[in-house]
Every structure is written in C-alpha cells, then in structure tokens.
Amino acid sequence: MRRTTALLVGGATAVALALGGLVGGVLAESPSAVASSAAPSGQSVFADRALTGAVGGVTASTVIGLEEEVRARPADADLLVQLAFAYQLRWRETADASFLPRSEVALRRALREQPRNATAVLGLGSLALIQHEFRQALAYGQRAARFLRGSARPYGVIGDALVELGRYEAAFASFERMVSLRPSLASYARVAYARELTGDLEGAVTAMRLALDAAGGQPEPAAWSLVELAKLELALGRVDAAGRDVRQALRILPGYPAARAELARTELARGRVDQAVAAARRAAEAVPTQQAVALLGDLLERSGRPAEARRQRATVAVIDRLLRANGVRVDLESAVYRADQRIRPAQTVALARRARADRPSIYGDDALGWALARAGRCAEAVPWARQSLRLGTKDPLLHFHLGYAQACAGNRRAMRESYGRALALNGEFSARWAPLARKALTS
C-alpha cells in the first residue's frame, strides 16, 4: 500500500478517517496482485472460499469423495482440513447445519495429528464465526496469525470477530493489515463492509467493485460479489443498478439463492410485490435460511396472504431450533425476529440482553433497543437505539427502530425525523415496516 493510516481514538469520525486511508491504500493496489504464482492446493482453495464468505461451489459428490479419501488416509491432517472446509461450504450451499459439527470433528482430528496446522486453526476460527462464538473466533484467529507470519488469512477472521464484538477501530486495523498483505476478494469485501458500517456507501461500492474484479470471473465468487454490490446499490437508491447486478449474478450462477433473495428486494423497491414474493419463494425453497424464510413471510403478509405468512414464521422457529441444536448461537437474530412479531416481550428483552452481551456491536445495541421498544419500555429503548447509530451507519432499519422507540416514548417530532431518514435511504427498506413508517408520516 502507498501508506498506512493510524487508527485514531475518538468515535465514528476517527473511524471514518481511518477507513478513508484504508480504502485509499486499496485503490493503490492492482487487482492483478491477487494472482499467485503457485498453483493452490485443494486445501488452500477450500480455505480461501470459506474464509471469503462467498458461496460454496462444493457439490455433494465432492464431499463424498473427500470422505472416502479420509477413510483411506485417516491420519492425513491436510486432507482432514480439506474435508472440514468442504463441510462449511456445503452448509452455505444447503443451510443444513448438521455439516457444522462434522466440520469441527474433522478439524480437531487434524490438530491431533498435526498440532501446529495453522489452516486447521483458521478452520476452527471460521467455524466459530459461523456459530457466532466471536470471542473464540478471535482467539483462533490470533493463534493462527502467530503460526502464519506474513499471511493475510488470519486477519479476516480476527477482523470479523472484532466487528461483532464492537471493537471497530481494532477490526478496521485488521482489515487494513489484511489488504496490505494480500489485496483479494476477501480483503476488498471487508473494506467494503467497513465503509458501509461508517456510512460511506459510495466508498463501499468502490471497494466491492474491486472485490468483483478480484473474483477473476470465477462463477461462485463473482455471483456473491454481485449480490453484495446490489445490496449497496439498493441502499443508495439505485434500484436499476441493483437489479442489473442481481440479474448478472443469476446469469453467471443460475438459481443462486442469495441473488433470488436480493431480486425479491429489488422487485419490492419497484413496487412489484407479487414478483418479489415469487423471487423470495424460490430463494427460500432452494436454501431455507432464517433470513430467506422471514423475508418470504413478510412479503406474503404484505401481499394479503396472512395464513401463508404464518406458515413461514413457523418454519423460522424450526430453523432456529435446528441451528441451536448444531451449535449456532442465534440469540441476536432471534431477539430481533421475536421483537418484530411481539413474541413474549419480557423473554425477548432478556434474550436481547444476552445477545448484546455476547455481541456488543451496533447490531447488538439495535436488538436490545428494538426488544425494549416492542415491550413498551420506551425510555430504556431510546438510548440503545441511538447508540446503534454511533458509527454513522446508513441502515434504514436502524433509523426506523430509533423512530419507533421515540414515538413510543412520546417524541413524535423525533419519530418523524427518524422515519423520514429511513424512507429517504430506502422507501421499501422493509416489507413489514416501511408501510407503517409512511402511514405515520402522513397521519
């Protein structure tokens, strides 16, 4: 990089300044620097995919073949690590959480055979991120960094964990270190997310385009990058650009569920609710994640099909139980969803408090504020909702949650300002809540 920017102490303004330097450095690098002169091993390829966060691209037959190889060579640590990352990638492909404990078993076997296998340690860090065990993920990332001097990979795990723990300046420093060591899809995507968190959506788009370039035309990484780019374009109100990105992703990777879900959001932004329902249904049927099924439920409710919406919400509860049974902590997501539905408000507040203790991030603050507001504890809710916006994040749902808490606390003037900001950012930020915000502003 041309320069390194010191991360300053002092809140969102300092963080934004630090990121300005980080992305300035990113732009100084050529995406061609991503290419390696050595052909990567299978272990390396799977690890890179899993640690990027992109889609899997691993078939069931690939996993079966690896399992057969492991049976033939049960003490081969590198082969066990390959299989472990393949399990993580299959989880992304299928939303079948039973792949996660299998990944852990393979990684721990690999470490018994080879205690200093750094990629196995990173695999445990990646798994801990998936399971929302962020303190564990940070410890694994730091351990891997001691083994892999000069490697960018550990800094992705470290930075991701630090973001969820609310330690933003340290997280962004990790991303800066990562991109300086190896500009790549993984590092550019993290720069994009960091800038998104601090409200610099245009800067996030710039970094995400570099991530797309770094994908090098590989179908799964390119499709993933295009979907992430579409989310940013939609956040900027550029609905047509978001739609083009999503459709390009679907041309590259037909049927890609994440693209189907984002297509649903772009169709909703155009006011085409029936088309949004159709796209969301195809996404949820292909890979029934909590997010996809909840989106379908909200869209069905919006389109006047409450009975179908209730069935989707029952499915969300089943998915929640399956995730928990396979070691994934979903307290934060569950708290927000339960608050949306006003399910046992007192219990939801307790759940949100636990979630915020585990994940003291802006989204932990938001979850607690939202749970308190929906439980009618409005004066307590407002400070948490305000704190969720401390980085300058332009997430309309955070502004809506603040407005709801302000209205609940009797400050309708502040509510109108917050609702107006949410709708200005995205007039259809939520199938469920955007109509309520519009109605409140016209009443």
Q: Summarize pLDDT for 3-22 with one digit per residue, the tens.
A: 333 332 233 333 433 444 44
Binning pLDDT at 50, 70 and 90, where does residue 58 land? confident
Q: State pTM to two decimals.
A: 0.89
**And the tokens for 81?**
């690590």
Q: Which residue has the tokens 């809140």?
A: 11
User: Whats the size of the chain, residue-wise?
Assistant: 443
Checking if the pLDDT of 405 tops 90, the result is yes
Checking if the pLDDT of 28 tops 70, the result is no
In whole angstroms, give the CA distance from residue 224 to residue 218: 10
- Asked if 222 contacts 248 with a C-beta cutoff of 8 angstroms, the reply is no
Q: Which residue has the tokens 């490697």?
A: 151
More confident residue, 365 or 56: 365
Secondary structure class of 10 (helix, strand, coil): coil
In whole angstroms, give the CA distance from residue 16 to residue 29: 20
**Rg over CA atoms, the chain:** 21
Q: Which residue has the tokens 């409005």?
A: 378
In whole angstroms, give the CA distance from residue 68 to residue 34: 33
**And the tokens for 263?**
């297509």
Structural domain spans, the chain: 31-269, 337-443
Are domains 31-269 and 337-443 of this chain identical in fold? yes
Name the helix (H) or strand (E) containing 67: helix 60-72
What pLDDT is stored for residue 54 in this prediction? 58
CA distances from 36 to 32, 122, 130, 160, 210 (A): 9, 20, 28, 24, 17
Checking if the pLDDT of 27 tops 80, the result is no
Mean pLDDT of 35-50: 53
CATH architecture for the domain at 337-443: Alpha Horseshoe (1.25)
Q: Which residue has the tokens 């994640």?
A: 289
Least confident span in 35-39, 129-133, 155-159: 35-39
What pLDDT is stored for residue 53 in this prediction? 61
CATH of domain 31-269: 1.25.40.10
Checking if the pLDDT of 379 tops 80, the result is yes
Q: Which residue has the tokens 């809540």?
A: 433
